[in-house]
Structure 1
Amino acid sequence: MKRFLIICVLLSGLAHGGAPKQDLSTRLQPTVFAVTMVMIHDVVNPPAASRFYAYCLLGAHEIVAQQQKTVVSPTRLARDFGKIELDATKPYDYQIAALYCILETGRLILPSGSMLEEEETKFLEEVRTKNYSEPIIQQSVLMAQAVAKKIMAYAAADNYSKLSARLRYRPTKADGYWYPTPPGYIEAIEPHWKTIRPMLLDSCGQFKPKPPVAFSKDTTSTFYKLAYNVYQVGRTLTPEQRFIASYWDCNPFAINTSGHMSIGFKKISPGGHWMNITSIAVSKAKLSFDKAVMVHSLVAMTLMDAFISCWDEKYRSNRIRPETAINRYINPRWQPLLQTPPFPEYTSGHSVISTAAAELLTYLIGTDFSFTDTTETIFELPERKFASFRQAAEEAAISRLYGGIHYRDAIENGQLQGKAIGTFIVDKLKKAGVASAF
């Protein structure tokens, strides 16, 4: 009997390339980050970035789920996503296939996706040093390519391709409504994003927040007090508050002006920041490859849906930004610490998506899970320690007040909106059998 078990183990190893299967968990973070770097290069806006992450991880999630029964398939979670039939007649390694699928989907879906071809080549060279046979590697690549094509077909039906055909958005010049802000006076970003098919939510308006405080020029009104609060906070920022605002800026394209010269700085998106936090967390928690892929995929889908929900409200309430209101009615020379993003104010995007992501990560990884966030070190900002995901989300939310780009009600109601989204998704995961990663 003992000899029989040894033979079975050896045969299992041969099925994965002539050597016992190796855990490629450490390769997941750099693979996802390679996709992030292309998005930074392309200056992908925040909602679109979340969509790209979701699809890049979806195929890998399904490949893993079909090999490991402990991982719940995204077919049980994502809307209209049917099972992908995988050709398993030839042996392949599902971890190689899953990682390559992330890169291949990114190559196909991102504007400058061709930049990932070099990363694909590098990845395969690395795999060859791990004693996998060439037939196994090649079959794994073919599997990844086939799944990536299926993912692209699924993505093609989410209404993204119809956005450019919609009527061009024209800002309302009346008092109280959003209008392009300096220094770039950039047009509204993704005004029709609510038409994108959600992944886990039922609809874009499922978690519609309560209406924002009504606009008013009256100096005794609640709105005026909200605007004055942003003005006052901006004038008395502590060094720590300034740092927090800059740390969570996450503006994909910040414009710096000096005289007649304008210089653009590319940064990571809010969703990209939370995807990297996810990578840091699964690494610290020492999750298996299978669970790490699943967690990344679920966070990506949550971010995508949180942006859809937030953007639905942004262009419904269409509220004026603090910079515009303060310049018109309080102090024409006041400037926010951060560059005002080019879309309406209510609710705060970072508050919504950070809170939703934190709720999901808290369920999957832990309530009091401390971690060191190194996401911003590539932008010459120091690492930052957090005692929990919720603490990080709280800081991300309040950073928008310090930055001078959101009123308090947009932050607080955005957090409530994100909490509702996160709670709904966690309940959905529980019903589908997705347990905590521990």
Structure 2
Amino acid sequence: MTTFSADPAKVPQETPLYVAFVQAAVYDAVVGIDGRYEPYRFDARAPRGASAQAAAVAAAYKVLITYSPYAKTNLDAAYATSLAQIPDGKAKSRGIAFGTLAADNLIAMRANDGRNAPISFTQPPAPGVWRPTPPGFLPMAVPWMEAVTPLLLRSGAQFGEPGPPPALTSDRYTRDFNEVKAFGSMNSTVRTADQTSTALFFSGNAPAQYNAALRDQMTVRHPDLVDAARMFAAVDMSEADAVISVWHAKYLYGFWRPITAIQLADTDGNPATIADPTWTPLLTTPNYPEYVSGYSGLTGAFTRALADTLDTENLHLTLVSTAVPGAVRQYDTGASLRDDVINARVWLGIHFRTSDTGGVDMGERVADWALEHYFGERDHRDRR
């Protein structure tokens, strides 16, 4: 995650995709040697006695260096350090070769997958339609994400069309509008200190936050290499497909953000929404459409994939904020985390509640489908 997050050629919204590439290759390399679980997309027979640890290191390195060559010096050093911990011999060399093959397979498979395609958001401004927001008035970030080939799903539209956002004159939209206007304002008089604290806790980088929590699970669960590879692959690949699905909905519906909706409420045809041309949110609005929420989609995918992988709702999560230094929270269940994120994005003033609940639901459905179709135990007769 750190390598991709620091990559000057990438933006935060696309990092889950590349993290998933790494974990997919590592998973295929490890299970190709161990044989405990069904492979993802690399059903090659591993050399007898190959080291799964060496394969994991080699697979991760090859994917990382391919997609973030800027970090070659650091990656080379980390690669050498990791391999130095494995005894030299045929097992090590065979593992390195097999892991590299797994990575090469993943890289070839992801060629021409829609990344960086020349797509832009073209809907003309109108009531309910997204447009660039202050202060930067930037165009939509990574619009091509909506057309990227998913890793697990059949298409980004499989769960990417949850139905349109509420009509501007509907009761639901009116409730959502008035809630975020009151609680999400920079100068809100009704948002409590605790609500502000929760909002700011979830105002940073969701992929980085959840990957740190996933690494913490290693100290909580103590999985072996194979189960760890499965856990990381299932969670990170579900998150990547959730982002693709979310972006499909964002691009398809192109719904306006609260700051635009509130400042231009006199154009929405709804007498129950009152315009405030000076309204600003607690958090600067991200530069992409509102519906559905990406942070919420990631949260749904993260919690559901982890629960499905571990076969328990008792996740015992430790989360560290990437926006508030030193802020740490504990969550026993995914449901409690999902509730906080849904509320936080409203209290930050950047989402309507319907978008948050819709995002969580989409992420959960992506993860459930992924775990139903991938990462299952291999028939014992085919164990390597």
Same fold, judged at TM 0.5 (above): yes
- Number of the residue aligned with 1:211: 164
Deviations for 1:120-148, whole angstroms, at most 9, x for unmatched residues? 323423542x4612776555444443432
Supply the distance in 1 between the matched residues of 2:355 and 2:142 (Cα, whole angstroms): 19
Please tell me whether the aligned partners of residues 32 and 45 of structure 2 are also in contact (alpha carbons under 8 angstroms): no
- Number of the residue aligned with 2:290: 345
Q: Which runs of 5+ in 1 are unaligned?
A: 1-34, 76-81, 251-267
- Number of the residue aligned with 2:176: 226
Supply the distance in 1 between the matched residues of 2:70 and 2:89 (Cα, whole angstroms): 24
Residues 277-296 of structure 1: pairs in structure 2 closer than 5 A: 277-296=213-232
Shift of 1:226: 2.0
Residues 248-263 of structure 1: pairs in structure 2 closer than 5 A: 248-250=202-204
Supply the distance in 2 between the matched residues of 1:434 and 1:147 (Cα, whole angstroms): 18
Q: Cα RMSD between the aligned structures?
A: 2.6
Cα 1:417–1:131 shift into 2, 3 Å = closer
Secondary structure of 2:143's counterpart equals: coil
- Number of the residue aligned with 2:111: 156
Supply the distance in 1 between the matched residues of 2:136 and 2:123 (Cα, whole angstroms): 15
Please tell me whether the aligned partners of residues 374 and 382 of structure 1 are also in contact (alpha carbons under 8 angstroms): yes
1:173 is the counterpart of 2:90? no
Amino acid at match of 2:317: F
Amino acid at match of 1:229: E
Supply the distance in 1 between the matched residues of 2:316 and 2:339 (Cα, whole angstroms): 14
Please tell me whether the aligned partners of residues 22 and 63 of structure 2 are also in contact (alpha carbons under 8 angstroms): yes
Please tell me whether the aligned partners of residues 157 and 245 of structure 2 are also in contact (alpha carbons under 8 angstroms): yes
Shift of 1:42: 3.0
Residues 387-406 of structure 1: pairs in structure 2 closer than 5 A: 387-406=332-351
- Number of the residue aligned with 1:83: 43
Cα 1:41–1:381 shift into 2, 3 Å = farther
Shift of 1:69: 1.7
Cα 1:347–1:69 shift into 2, 3 Å = same
Please tell me whether the aligned partners of residues 54 and 86 of structure 2 are also in contact (alpha carbons under 8 angstroms): no
Secondary structure of 1:106's counterpart equals: helix
Residues 227-242 of structure 1: pairs in structure 2 closer than 5 A: 227-234=177-184, 235=188, 236-242=190-196
Amino acid at match of 1:211: P
The total of aligned residue pairs comes to 364
- Number of the residue aligned with 2:253: 317
Please tell me whether the aligned partners of residues 4 and 19 of structure 2 are also in contact (alpha carbons under 8 angstroms): no
Shift of 1:302: 0.4
Supply the distance in 1 between the matched residues of 2:3 and 2:235 (Cα, whole angstroms): 18
Amino acid at match of 1:120: D
Q: Percent identity?
A: 20
Amino acid at match of 1:210: G
Please tell me whether the aligned partners of residues 156 and 244 of structure 2 are also in contact (alpha carbons under 8 angstroms): yes
- Number of the residue aligned with 2:27: 61
1:114 is the counterpart of 2:70? yes
Deviations for 1:71-98, whole angstroms, at most 9, x for unmatched residues? 32113xxxxxx53465x37x65221221
- Number of the residue aligned with 1:97: 55
Deviations for 1:270-301, whole angstroms, at most 9, x for unmatched residues? 22322222221233111111110111011111
Deviations for 1:38-63, whole angstroms, at most 9, x for unmatched residues? 42443733542121011111111111
Please tell me whether the aligned partners of residues 277 and 375 of structure 1 are also in contact (alpha carbons under 8 angstroms): no
Shift of 1:346: 0.7
Secondary structure of 1:387's counterpart equals: strand
Shift of 1:184: 1.4
Task: Indicate the structure (1 or 2) with the bigger Cα radius of gyration.
Answer: 1
Supply the distance in 1 between the matched residues of 2:140 and 2:132 (Cα, whole angstroms): 7
Within the candidate set 316, 323, 337, 1:370 is matched to 316
Supply the distance in 1 between the matched residues of 2:362 and 2:144 (Cα, whole angstroms): 19
Amino acid at match of 1:241: Q
Please tell me whether the aligned partners of residues 299 and 360 of structure 1 are also in contact (alpha carbons under 8 angstroms): yes
Cα 1:126–1:338 shift into 2, 3 Å = same
Cα 1:57–1:368 shift into 2, 3 Å = same
Cα 1:222–1:131 shift into 2, 3 Å = closer
Q: Which runs of 5+ in 2 are unaligned?
A: 266-274, 380-384
Secondary structure of 1:199's counterpart equals: coil
Amino acid at match of 1:230: V
Please tell me whether the aligned partners of residues 151 and 241 of structure 2 are also in contact (alpha carbons under 8 angstroms): yes
Supply the distance in 2 between the matched residues of 1:159 and 1:244 (Cα, whole angstroms): 36
- Number of the residue aligned with 1:11: none
Supply the distance in 2 between the matched residues of 1:226 and 1:43 (Cα, whole angstroms): 36
Supply the distance in 1 between the matched residues of 2:195 and 2:141 (Cα, whole angstroms): 27
Supply the distance in 1 between the matched residues of 2:9 and 2:200 (Cα, whole angstroms): 18
Secondary structure of 2:248's counterpart equals: helix
Shift of 1:242: 1.6
Deviations for 1:238-264, whole angstroms, at most 9, x for unmatched residues? 2222222222223xxxxxxxxxxxxxx
Supply the distance in 2 between the matched residues of 1:184 and 1:215 (Cα, whole angstroms): 26
Amino acid at match of 1:322: P
Supply the distance in 2 between the matched residues of 1:419 and 1:146 (Cα, whole angstroms): 32
Please tell me whether the aligned partners of residues 370 and 386 of structure 1 are also in contact (alpha carbons under 8 angstroms): yes
1:71 is the counterpart of 2:30? no
